[in-house]
Amino acid sequence: MKKFRKVLDGLTTSSPGGTIGSPSCGSAAGTPTAAPTPREIDVQETLTSDNFQLCKTVRHGFPYQPTALAFDPVQKILAIGSRSGGVRILGRPGVDCFCQHESGAAVLHLQFLINEGALVTACADDTLHLWNLRQRRPAVLHSLKFNRERITFCHLPFQSKWLYVGTERGNTHIVNIESFILSGYVIMWNKAIELSTKTHPGPVVHLSDSPKDEGKLLIGFEAGTIVQWDLRAKKADFRIYYDEAIHSVSWHHEGKQFMCSHSDGSLTLWNPRNTTKPFQVTFPHGKIQKDGRKESCKPILKVEYKTSRSSEPFIIFSGGLSYDKAGRRPALTIMHGKAITVLEMGYPIVEFMVLCETPYNNEVQEPYTVVVLLEKDLIVVDLTQSSFPVFENPYPMDIHESPVTCTAYFADCPPDIIPILYSIGAKHKKTGYSHKEWPVGGGTWTLGSHTYPEIIITGHADGSIKFWDASAFTLQMLYKLKTSKVFEKPKAGEGRSAEMVEEDPFAVQMVSWCPQSRIFCVVGISAHIILYRFSKYDANTQIVSLEVRLQCESEDVITPSENENYPCFSEQGSHSPQPHHQHPVSPGSRTPEGAKDRGPCLKVKERVVRVPPGYQSDLVIQLLWVDGEPPQQITSLDINSAYGLLAFGNCNGLAVVDYLQKTVILCMSTVDLYGATDPYQRLTRSPRRNRQSTSEHCMRGLSNFYSDSKKRIRTSYQSLTELNDNQQSVDMERSKSPTSDHVNGHCTSPTSQPCSAGKPRIPMGPEGPRLTRRGPGRPPFRKAQSAACMEISLPVSHTEESRENSFSRSRSSSVSSIDRDTKEAITTLQFGESYGRKSDVLPTPCLWVGTSLGMVLLIPLSIPTDHEERMEEAVTVGPSGAVQMLKGSILRFAFLDCMGALIQSPYEVWRDLNAPEDPDRPRRRKLVHFSPSSSQDANGDGHLAVVCSERQAKVFLMPSQACLFVHNITESSFVLRADVVSVCNSVCLACFCANGHVMTLSLPSLRPLMDVNYLPLTDMRIARTFCFTNGGQALYLSSPTEIQRITYSQEMCDNLQEMLGELFTPIETPEAQNRGFLKGFFGGNAHAFDREELFGEAAAGKASRSLAQHIPGQGGVEGMKMAAGGAVGELARARIALDERGQRLGELEERTALMMTSAESFSKHAHELMLKCKDKKWYQF
């Protein structure tokens, strides 16, 4: 190995990657190349392409833009449809399944085949789908596409295989669920109404069979017409014509009356025997005014009429409130006897369902729960208690409580961290929930064998942080931290704070967490950093604050007289090719001019505050305003508990803070970091180029937009996450152009003026709008950038050059150009044990710095090792060491030993600073180091450094700094996220590109192992929230309210069936109540109705082929076999099928015997009656 190292040292000058400014070491995209290294290097790479496969695992959160709701009362599972064509099926905690329609059309109706393990969905593209739920991954068995009519309502009677489908034209069609073929039996609207009727009754809004007789179908039309259709006689029994539009109908279980809800806020009760007028009309919320008139009320969109044996019936409805009371929240009203309870909701009600004890509609219903689906929440109300308390939701439906702005994913955490976070978070949980068991308890789920502690951290726009237990494909909130408590609340009229009262000054941009030392760092949108330490004890503390100036000098700022539109890059007075320098001032310094403006954005609490157990603020770092200019947002952060250091950077420079001594040890511009090794000749731009608008300079392309978004974008999140009142219809596809400045009428461009919804933006002049005086490239403060709602928004280009640069990076890392960005941002930082110079023999603490121009710098650090010295002596920073170059912004650093194993960063073992003192065991810092030389006795010193940029990945050998391997990841796109992760007891480089490709590369050879075109980047939400973690897992925010987890590990894909929950469990269908012989015989025996005889092909014929098209699904027997996971699953499925068949045969035999007994009894009674009356004369009767 020593021979190998000497040879590599000799190759330093000849290696293509070892020379500065020579990017010719790259190869064509997708092909790794290596310097001519000797054969002595021996890293056993165990990963192959067979170890990788990409698939979705589970989705957490509230379904975005929900549209429909259904419940299986026997299986006790709940289904929610969404506007994007998704269906979430929920059971007991752990049973959570997501299905997606390929068409993406909105789901309008959901209908369970009760206790059959199947679900029917009706979508906005007028297609019916039958989903098989008897497998862990549900699949479509059949589809039926209606060609000439729009579907408006669906109804499937219990234990029936015939589905009633109402259409917009007013017709009712009947579909066979087993074959998914349309019956020839059709109820035409003109046959249902009287011939004398001159107007169309409108679309079908209700279908239900009579509880007294299944052969009678009640059809409700929107215009106010109700028809009871006799299916046998093919004629109408009665017709009702009412003045007000109908929204819903609900039967009494005896079938003697039904209730309708109307558009004027009224409820009408009807008797089928007397349909001339309703025998009861009520306005539940319409009070009589002084002039004797009723208050006008909103429509009652749905009503449920449910009976109970032990009490009065329940009448539950949504809507119906009076128009006069402005500002009232949406409400659900529960009428029980004379008591009326109004439950106000936080969001508009989409749908609600009353859960009852029996699935039969002709029995006493016994309601026990109401499930209310809101636009952004799911509420379950307990009806068994008079106070109607709500159930505590076991699903993570509140991820979007405040819009998510960043995410972090940690797998294989220390096992003790989850219990302690849960124990502290449980003390702050809300109370007052129902004590009964969660009513949606269907399915089965067991803890799999391939589980380990996982934690997801979400940062939010209101400054809150949530820790989630993500182990075993579940999600449960552990602990919530509010960063806003560190600061004084901004008040109107208090100087600069007044500008931000309506904004989100505490929004979280990024987080950094060390699970071993339990140190947590938060970066906020107001250019602030909060460092937290964990303690199990409460404490009285005074928050320490540091103010850092990381800003251009005032003489470098371009005034309005020099340039009206403020270019992104500062320029010097002359145009000579001199290096551009920034001069940050030390934190305490002040100058008389503009001293009042040199303050932070937020005011830290100065008084002593009482902090509860958990994460307690230890230090607040804030960047200062200078001369009325806000500080640039922080773009990179790293913290190391073993060193006691925190480093952060932005587009102006780099700062390093010693958080143990609470001092700033380095504050320097990016240009000054290079010293004499600066590879660029930094030229200023000509005045002509500087007169372009700010947007044309700052938003050079999609790649630049993403890399600089953390410091330049200020997008309103509320207008994008809140549902617009004037939404488009659910069946219209909303296409968004990536070059559009507006989404749904809301302004999303960071440089455009705010505009109201639905109004076009006023076009500006060629030089753009005039703004108040600000520094170079400093946009005004706006609402926080929310990762949950950002859309890609590039400005409209006005020049040919801007159009050419819209989707490609204009700069090249190989040449120095006059168009080069002179503002170089710090994009990534990494502390670690490394070699700052080629001459170093032993590894020392270093800080690796990556910039937006693809430059890599090493900064050696001198840190005292003794505990007392560390707390007293200053940490010294050496001059910059190695400088390397890659294509594109640097995204990630990682270190491997010469055996290819990942070197972890050193850390400090957690100690509770607030714990009582123990004189026998004084608290001292206990550090854990992973030195590169500790595990390399056979290979000597040195380690491998992995560097990944937006375009390229390189592996260097340290300390020689020789480039061993290089791989051009992409030429046509750019990398958004890259991480070095552990998979199958080895390591690889995982990348997510803007074109939607997910790739993995071997280490250290950078061989491509997987390249899957998974997800096209449609908005910045995915870009900012996508993150990889160990174990072959990743996640991203798939919508403003949902987290999608995926795996790229073949092993996890193989074990996925075992780890997911079962939706269907074999349960015996409850028996119907015995109605008695006489009641069944004389009361219109519903069981005598044979739908097959009426709707089958023999009686009704075939439907027109042009009316609907049958589409076979992919979830048939073959799909079930694949999903079963082998022969064991197939045998189990066959056994269940046999058991069900035997059960049905047994039920059939019992029914046959019962019918024979009844027939014999009837024959006997009839014979006795005949003998009794045989000899009587006619006048004796």
The CA distances from residue 119 to 133, 445, 1179, in Å, are 7, 20, 62
Higher pLDDT, 867 or 953: 953
Average pLDDT over residues 1057-1085: 74
Q: What is the pLDDT of residue 1137?
A: 65
Contacts 24+ apart (CB under 8 A), 335-343: 335/284, 336/311, 336/312, 337/311, 337/312, 340/284, 341/388, 343/381, 343/388
Average pLDDT over residues 493-518: 75
Q: What is the pLDDT of residue 840?
A: 84
Task: For residue range 32-58, list pLDDT tens digits in order.
Answer: 554 434 335 678 899 999 999 999 999
- Would the pLDDT of 129 be above 90? yes
| Six token digits for residue 551 | 């800003």
Q: What is the pLDDT of residue 36?
A: 39
Task: For residue range 541-598, list pLDDT tens digits in order.
Answer: 999 999 999 875 533 333 333 333 333 333 333 333 332 333 333 333 333 344 445 6
- Would the pLDDT of 813 be above 60? no
Q: Residue 1023 — very low, low, confident or very high, per pLDDT cuts 50/70/90?
A: confident
Strands 826-834, 746-747: pairing kind: unpaired
- Would the pLDDT of 978 be above 90? yes
- Would the pLDDT of 845 be above 80? yes
The CA distances from residue 1019 to 720, 803, 994, 1024, in Å, are 12, 20, 10, 9
- Would the pLDDT of 68 be above 60? yes
- Would the pLDDT of 787 be above 50? no
Q: Residue 540 — very low, low, confident or very high, per pLDDT cuts 50/70/90?
A: very high
Average pLDDT over residues 123-148: 94
Q: What is the pLDDT of residue 565?
A: 35
Strands 107-113, 118-123: pairing kind: antiparallel
Average pLDDT over residues 933-959: 79
Under 8 Å between Cβ of 211 and 258: no
- Would the pLDDT of 286 be above 50? yes
Q: What is the pLDDT of residue 1050?
A: 94
Q: What is the pLDDT of residue 322?
A: 87
- Would the pLDDT of 264 be above 60? yes
Q: What is the pLDDT of residue 1181?
A: 55
Instruction: Report the percentage of the chain scoring pLDDT > 70.
Output: 73
Is this structure's pTM higher than 0.85?
no
**Cα(860)–Cα(837) distance, rounded to whole angstroms?**
8
- Would the pLDDT of 102 be above 70? yes
Average pLDDT over residues 1126-1130: 47
∠ CA 96-100-103, nearest 5°, is 170
Q: Residue 1139 — very low, low, confident or very high, per pLDDT cuts 50/70/90?
A: low
Task: For residue range 1079-1105, list pLDDT tens digits in order.
Answer: 555 554 445 678 888 888 877 778 888
- Would the pLDDT of 832 be above 50? yes
- Would the pLDDT of 768 be above 60? no
Please give the span between the terminal C-alpha atoms of the chain, in angstroms, as a whole number.
120
Task: For residue range 714-749, list pLDDT tens digits in order.
Answer: 333 333 333 333 444 434 343 333 333 333 333 333
| Least confident interval from 660-664, 826-830, 1112-1116 | 1112-1116
Under 8 Å between Cβ of 609 and 575: no
Average pLDDT of every residue of the chain: 78
- Would the pLDDT of 208 be above 80? yes
| Least confident interval from 21-25, 151-155, 638-642 | 21-25
Instruction: Report the percentage of the chain scoring pLDDT > 90.
Output: 53
Q: Residue 412 — very low, low, confident or very high, per pLDDT cuts 50/70/90?
A: confident
Q: Residue 1180 — very low, low, confident or very high, per pLDDT cuts 50/70/90?
A: low
Under 8 Å between Cβ of 22 and 963: no
Average pLDDT over residues 301-328: 89
Stretch (H or E) spanning 1152:
helix 1127-1173
Q: What is the pLDDT of residue 492?
A: 57
Q: What is the pLDDT of residue 347?
A: 94
Sequence-distant (≥ 6) Cβ neighbours of residue 1059 within 8 angstroms: 57, 448, 450, 451, 472, 473
Q: What is the pLDDT of residue 784?
A: 43
∠ CA 742-68-394, nearest 5°, is 95
Higher pLDDT, 944 or 1113: 944
**What one-character-per-residue DSSP string does 288-355 give?**
B-TTSPBPPB--EEEEEEE--SSSPPEEEEEE--BSSSTTPPPEEEEEETTEEEEEE-SS-EEEEEEE
- Among the listed residues 633, 620, 605, 565, the one whose alpha carbon sits nearest the alpha carbon of residue 781: 633
Higher pLDDT, 804 or 551: 551
Q: What is the pLDDT of residue 481?
A: 95
Task: For residue range 316-346, list pLDDT tens digits in order.
Answer: 999 999 887 666 789 999 999 889 999 999 9
Q: What type of residue is 72?
A: D
Task: For residue range 847-886, list pLDDT tens digits in order.
Answer: 999 999 999 999 999 999 888 888 889 999 987 767 889 9
**Cα(810)–Cα(689) distance, rounded to whole angstroms?**
15
> Where does 1058-1114 show beta strands of DSSP type E?
1108-1112
Q: Residue 445 — very low, low, confident or very high, per pLDDT cuts 50/70/90?
A: confident
Average pLDDT over residues 769-794: 37
Beta bridge partners, 521, equal: 512, 531
User: How many residues are present in the chain?
Assistant: 1181
**Cα(493)–Cα(240) distance, rounded to whole angstroms?**
63
∠ CA 34-35-36, nearest 5°, is 115
